[in-house]
Copies of this chain bind each other. A is one copy, B any other.
Amino acid sequence: MAAGAGSTHWVIPDGYIPEKSAGELTSHESVCVLNTGFEDAQLVFTIYFEDREPLESIGVIVPGRRTKHIRTSSLVKDGETITAGVPYAIEIESDVPVIVQYSRLDATQAENALMSTMAYPVKGG
């Protein structure tokens, strides 16, 4: 099929980059995107905070028939990145349908902890 599966609008309310890494692995978050279609997906991220204006218009491209596991610490807008240790939320808009899953590895303690959930697909988005 030419058109990819999924939604063009996704939300992840629980964003948080752990401040420490004590074990063999590094604490990180991944926004995992799958583009099952044949054309590039142009993603636009908006990062929301508790006490200040959102960071808007961060662009990421996911090629057709490819997945991309995006570390949130790699997202940059005019030199600004997401501060570790601060609660935030993620909104993703795409020009073509994609599927989005969010996972976090917390290695604050030597033994790591994992969590994962599908992002929320906004209906009719």
Contacts and interface: CB of A to CB of B under 8 A. Distances in A.
B13 A34 contact: yes
Given A11-B36, A36-B11, A87-B69, A118 B118 contact: yes
A82 B48 CA distance: 28
Given A36-B91, A106-B114, A118-B118, A12 B101 contact: yes
A58 B106 CA distance: 31
Interface in A75-106: 87-89, 91, 99-101, 103-106
A52 B95 CA distance: 22
Interface of A: 5-6, 9, 11-16, 23-25, 30, 32-34, 36, 48-51, 53-54, 65-69, 87-89, 91, 99-101, 103-106, 108-122, 125
